[in-house]
Structure 1
Amino acid sequence: MAAIVRPVMAFRNKLRPSVLVVLAGVVGGVGVEGKGQEPARAVSPLVAQDQPDPYEDRPIREVRLLRAEEGGKTGPLTGPNAQLALNQIRTLPGRPFRRQTVTQDISTLGGLGRFKTISAQVQLQTDGSVVVIYVLGEQPIIEDVQVVGNRVISDQEALAIAGALSGTAVDRFEIDRAARGIENLYREKGYYAVRVEVDEKELAASGILVYRIIEGERVRVMGVQFEGNVSFTARELRSAIRTTEYVPVFESGPLDDEVVQADVAELTKFYRDRGYLQVRASSRVTPAPNGKEAIVTFVVDEGPLYTLRSVKVRYVTPSAVAEYRERFAPDVRQIGSLTPEQMARLGRRCFTNEQAAGLMLLKAGDVYSLDKLNKSKAAIKAAYGTLGYIVDNVILGPGDVIVTEREVLNPERPEVDLVLEINEGKPAVAGMVTVLGNEKTRQQVILHNILVRPGRPLNVADVAESRKRLEASRLFERGSVRATIQPERPDEPGVRDVLVEVTETNTGEFNFGVAVDSDAGLVGQFTVTQRNFDLFDPPRSAGELFSATGFRGGGQTARLEILPGNLSQRYSVSLTEPHFLDSDYSATGRVYLNTRRYRVYDEERLGTGFGIGRRFGTVWEGSVGARVELVDISDVEPSSTVDLFEAEGQNLMTSVGVRLTRDTTDDRLRPSRGSYTSLGVDQFGALGGDYSFTRLAAGYKTFITLHESFLGYKTVLKLDSSVGYIPQGQGDAPLFERLYLGGQSFRGFSNRGVSPVGIRKDTGQLGRDPVGGSFSCFFGAEVNQPVYEDVIGVVAFIDTGTVQESFGLDQYRVSVGVGMRVFIPQVSPMPLAFDFGFPLLKEDTDRKRLFTFSIDVPF
Structure 2
Amino acid sequence: MRLQLQDCQNNQTAEKLRRFLCRSLGGLFLTMCVCAVIEIRLPHSQAQDLSVPGADASQTVIDIRIRGNETIPESVILQKIQIQPRRVFTERMLLEDHRSLMGTRWFFSVSVDFEDTPEGKVLFFTVHERPIVQSVTFIGNDHVKTKMLEAWTGLKSGSPFDHVANADAVSRIEQEYKEKGYYFVKVVLEKGANPSDRQVVFRINEGPKVRVQHRTFEGNRFWGAGDLRKNLASKEALLGFFGGFYHPETLPQDVEALKQFYHNVGFFDVEVDVQPRFSPDKSDVNLHFTIKEGTRYRIRSIRYQGNQVIPTQQLQQDTQLREGQDFNSVPMAKDVRKMLKQYGELGHYFASVVPSPHFTETTGIVDIVYEIDEDRPRYIRNIDVAYDGDYPHTKQTVVWDRMQVFPGDLANPDLIRRSRSRLGGSGLFEPNIMFDVVPVEPENSSFASRSRTYRAQSPDEYDTEAWTNEFAEFTRQAARLSTIGSYPWLPEESADSSKGTSPEGNQQPTKSKLNNAIDSKPIPPSISPTAANEAPRQWSYATVSSSAIDQRTMGGHSRLFASNPAASKEITKPSADSSAWDSHGTAINQSASKPPVESLVTGFRSVHPGDVFQAESSEFLTSNLPNTNSPIIRAQSPDAGYGSPYYDPAPGPRDSVLEGSPYRNQFQAMPPGWVDINVRATEGRTGRLMFGAGVNSDAGLVGSFVWDESNFDLFRPPQTFADIIEGRAWRGGGQRFRLEAAPGNQVSRYTLSWTDPYFMYSDYSLTLSGFYFNRFYPDWQEDRLGGRIGLGRQLTPEWSVNAALRLEDVELKHPASPTPAVVAKEIGHNFLSTIRTSVTHDTRDMSIMPGEGHYGDLAWEQAFNDYNYSRVEGEFRQYYTLHSRPDGSGRHVLTLAGLLGWSDRDTPVFERYFAGGFQSFRGFSYRGVTPRSNGVATGGTFQMLGTVEYRIPVTADDMINFVAFTDFGSVEEEVTLNNFRASAGLGLRVVVPAMGPVPLAFDFAFPIASQDYDDQRIFSFYVGVNR
Residue deviations 1:65-99, cap 9 Å, x none?
Answer: xxxxxxxxxxxx9889xxxxxxxxxxxxxxxxxxx
Structure 1 residue 195, shift from structure 2 partner: 4.4
Taking the aligned partners of 2:818 and 2:716, their CA distance within structure 1 comes to: 56
Unaligned regions of 5+ residues in structure 2, if any?
1-43, 49-66, 71-104, 109-127, 449-672
The answer to whether the 8 Å contact 1:782/1:795 transfers is no
2:249 to 242, 247, 258: 258
Distance 1:371 1:640, change over 3 A: same
SS at match of 1:698: strand
2:971 equivalent to 1:804: yes
SS at match of 1:229: coil
2:327 to 368, 388, 395: 368
Taking the aligned partners of 1:565 and 1:224, their CA distance within structure 2 comes to: 46
1:729-748 mapped onto 2 (5 Å cutoff): 733-746=907-920
1:661 matched residue in structure 2: 840
2:899 equivalent to 1:724: yes
Residue deviations 1:495-546, cap 9 Å, x none?
Answer: 2233334566787778889877654456677777665666777889999999
Structure 1 residue 365, shift from structure 2 partner: 2.6
- Out of 158-167 and 428-437, give the one that drifted further: 158-167
2:939 matched residue in structure 1: 771
Taking the aligned partners of 1:480 and 1:246, their CA distance within structure 2 comes to: 32
Distance 1:593 1:454, change over 3 A: same
Taking the aligned partners of 2:234 and 2:727, their CA distance within structure 1 comes to: 56
Structure with greater strand percent: 1
Distance 1:295 1:354, change over 3 A: same
Taking the aligned partners of 2:722 and 2:280, their CA distance within structure 1 comes to: 81
1:88 matched residue in structure 2: none
Structure 1 residue 416, shift from structure 2 partner: 0.8
Which residue identity is paired with 2:899? G
The answer to whether the 8 Å contact 1:533/1:557 transfers is yes
2:269 matched residue in structure 1: 278
1:696 matched residue in structure 2: 873
The answer to whether the 8 Å contact 1:756/1:773 transfers is no
2:120 matched residue in structure 1: none
Which residue identity is paired with 2:274? S
Which residue identity is paired with 1:725? L
The answer to whether the 8 Å contact 2:823/2:938 transfers is no
2:217 equivalent to 1:226: yes
The answer to whether the 8 Å contact 2:162/2:195 transfers is no
1:584 matched residue in structure 2: 763
1:755 matched residue in structure 2: 929
Residue deviations 1:614-647, cap 9 Å, x none?
Answer: 1122232122334455544443232244543465
Residue deviations 1:398-451, cap 9 Å, x none?
Answer: xxx554443221212511112333445554321122344597666555433222
- Out of 746-755 and 449-458, give the one that drifted further: 746-755
1:618 to 783, 790, 797: 797
The answer to whether the 8 Å contact 1:679/1:698 transfers is yes
Residue deviations 1:135-186, cap 9 Å, x none?
Answer: xx999998766554555655555554444597453448x845x544444455
Structure 1 residue 452, shift from structure 2 partner: 2.1
Taking the aligned partners of 1:458 and 1:140, their CA distance within structure 2 comes to: 66
Which residue identity is paired with 2:840? T
The answer to whether the 8 Å contact 1:701/1:718 transfers is no
The answer to whether the 8 Å contact 1:311/1:357 transfers is no
SS at match of 1:450: coil
- Out of 306-315 and 241-250, give the one that drifted further: 241-250
Which residue identity is paired with 1:420? Y
1:678 matched residue in structure 2: 856
Structure with greater helix percent: 2
2:1017 equivalent to 1:848: yes
Distance 1:206 1:409, change over 3 A: same
Taking the aligned partners of 1:707 and 1:189, their CA distance within structure 2 comes to: 38
1:433 to 369, 375, 383: 383
1:418 matched residue in structure 2: 368
2:112 matched residue in structure 1: none
SS at match of 1:682: strand
Same amino acid, percent of matched pairs: 25
Structure 1 residue 573, shift from structure 2 partner: 5.6
Structure 1 residue 786, shift from structure 2 partner: 11
Structure 1 residue 698, shift from structure 2 partner: 0.6
Which residue identity is paired with 2:814? D
1:407 matched residue in structure 2: 357
Distance 1:241 1:432, change over 3 A: closer
Structure 1 residue 276, shift from structure 2 partner: 0.8
Taking the aligned partners of 1:836 and 1:551, their CA distance within structure 2 comes to: 45
TM-score scaled by structure 2? 0.54
1:813 matched residue in structure 2: 983
1:525-674 mapped onto 2 (5 Å cutoff): 555-557=734-736, 567-568=746-747, 570=749, 574-580=753-759, 582-590=761-769, 592=771, 594-605=773-784, 607-627=786-806, 629=808, 631-641=810-820, 643-645=822-824, 648=827, 653=832, 655-664=834-843
The answer to whether the 8 Å contact 1:244/1:253 transfers is yes
Taking the aligned partners of 1:270 and 1:680, their CA distance within structure 2 comes to: 44
2:301 to 298, 305, 310: 310
Which residue identity is paired with 1:261? P
TM-score scaled by structure 1? 0.63
Taking the aligned partners of 1:576 and 1:143, their CA distance within structure 2 comes to: 66
The answer to whether the 8 Å contact 1:559/1:575 transfers is yes
Which residue identity is paired with 2:909? L
Taking the aligned partners of 1:448 and 1:265, their CA distance within structure 2 comes to: 43
Residue deviations 1:645-700, cap 9 Å, x none?
Answer: 465566665544332334455666x6666656131222445x46545343322132
The answer to whether the 8 Å contact 2:149/2:173 transfers is yes
Taking the aligned partners of 2:716 and 2:188, their CA distance within structure 1 comes to: 72
SS at match of 2:444: coil
Distance 1:682 1:195, change over 3 A: same
The answer to whether the 8 Å contact 1:407/1:417 transfers is yes
Taking the aligned partners of 2:150 and 2:818, their CA distance within structure 1 comes to: 77
1:169 matched residue in structure 2: 162
Residue deviations 1:576-625, cap 9 Å, x none?
Answer: 44344544333344555544332222334455544432112223212233
Residue deviations 1:188-222, cap 9 Å, x none?
Answer: 56555554455599646636565555556666666
Which residue identity is paired with 1:229? N
Taking the aligned partners of 1:787 and 1:164, their CA distance within structure 2 comes to: 48
Which residue identity is paired with 1:801? D
The answer to whether the 8 Å contact 1:143/1:167 transfers is no
The answer to whether the 8 Å contact 1:821/1:834 transfers is no
Distance 1:183 1:368, change over 3 A: farther
Residue deviations 1:41-68, cap 9 Å, x none?
Answer: xxxxxxxxxxxxxxxxxxx9xx99xxxx
Unaligned regions of 5+ residues in structure 1, if any?
1-59, 65-76, 81-111, 116-136, 316-339, 392-400, 761-766
Taking the aligned partners of 1:572 and 1:499, their CA distance within structure 2 comes to: 38
The answer to whether the 8 Å contact 2:694/2:1025 transfers is no
SS at match of 2:303: strand
The answer to whether the 8 Å contact 1:519/1:751 transfers is yes
**Cα RMSD, aligned residues only:** 5.3
